[in-house]
Amino acid sequence: MNAIKTNYLIISVLLFSFLTGCSEKHATKYSDKNPVYAQLTKYTKIAKIIEEDEVKAVVNITYLNGSDGVRWDDGNQYFLVGIYKIKENRSKLSIALQKEEERIAPLEILSTENYPLIAQNIPLKNEWASYSIYKFKDIKDVSGFVLDIRDDKDRSTTANFEKNKY
């Protein structure tokens, strides 16, 4: 009887060790092979607009200046934004940089079609979201940015990013 318990324990430990040892290698398999995806993922956040415990919109935001400062270093700030609105939510979303009480509108909203490397490597991609690149004028003398997302029903959320120091 004691031998059966010992054998069961040994088999359980070996099986557990095998399964956990193999899974760890697969966790970073894609990001190890694709440095662009890995770099973008580090600067990605997900924000949700919620009303009465119900999600109305999900917004994926990647700070592009943080991920590749050389490419995006033209004196402006760039964010890749993916917006997914729940079916019954027909409200419009506005995205702006928040500086104290002031909301700063984007200078331009660019299509991801002109940036195939970004379009192919969107981190934490939501297949139902529509993606664009938001270009904002740089705000001097700040260490970070607050991206303010709100809809026309005054529901809102924010995402904070540390400013790129390039």
Mean residue pLDDT of the chain comes to: 81
pLDDT of residue 133: 93
CA 109 remoteness from chain centre: 18
Handedness of CA 127, 84, 45, 121 (dihedral sign): positive
For residue 102, which of 143, 59, 148, 138 has the smallest C-alpha distance?
148
Contact by Cβ (8 Å): 48, 59: yes
Confidence (pTM): 0.75
- Amino acid 122: pLDDT: 83
Q: Please check the confidence at residue 103 and state whether its pLDDT lies above 80.
A: yes
